[in-house]
Structure 1
Amino acid sequence: MTLAPYTQHRYGINMHAATRKAVHDRLRRIEGQVGGLLRMVQEDRYCVDVLTQINAVRAALHKVEQEILRDHVAHCVANAFASGDVLEQRQKVEELVDTVGRMTR
């Protein structure tokens, strides 16, 4: 697996355990929702019902995204600013701006 350039030098600072558990639990529920979507398609369920469930999955993924982003800012970005390292601070801000930009496309 090749890592994206913005992640290669950032390992070592990990998600808080509580966030990791919450994200894991949410993703498991989403996994179940996607399985339900697959069954709905296989059962040829009404299109609007399938679309409604797709929207629910999208909203659930958005919540996961928010939770991880919140943890990243509170942990990784905050640590960069606490370090006093101006270069690291700039890198974290640039990384954050790029990440939010990709999320909003």
Structure 2
Amino acid sequence: MEESQKKLLARVKRIGGQVAGVERMLNEKRYCVDILNQIAAVRSALDALGVELLTRHLESCVLGHGSDNEHPEAKAMSQQELLAEVKTALSRFL
């Protein structure tokens, strides 16, 4: 878990750098299409991060619910509550 956590944090820092790049491009009055391309890259990176986190949630908090693989911060929930939580997370993410 430690190594994958480090990878997630590195990904977040990279995304932060991309966002800072957008700010820099705006300050430099760069060509609009170049800025839009950078914004698209940020969105793509955020989507990939979201998919990774959603996958981890499904593995550890839903499928691992009540087992040794369950995330230590997972809330005690019924199957219906877990399903509702996943539906909410998906609707927000998508």
TM-score calculated relative to the size of structure 1: 0.74
Give the unaligned 5+ runs of structure 2.
68-76
C-alpha deviations, 1:45-64, integer Å up to 9, x for none?
00000000000000000000
Is residue 37–residue 53 contact of structure 1 (8 Å, CA) maintained in 2? yes
Paired amino acid for 1:56: A
Paired amino acid for 2:7: A
Give the stretch that moved more between structures: 91-100 or 44-53: 91-100
Q: Which has the higher contact order (CA 8 A, sep 6+)?
A: 1
Give the unaligned 5+ runs of structure 1.
1-15
TM-score calculated relative to the size of structure 2: 0.82
- Counterpart check, 1:62 vs 2:62: no
Q: 2:81 aligns with which of 74, 87, 91?
A: 91
Give 1:81 shift: 6.6
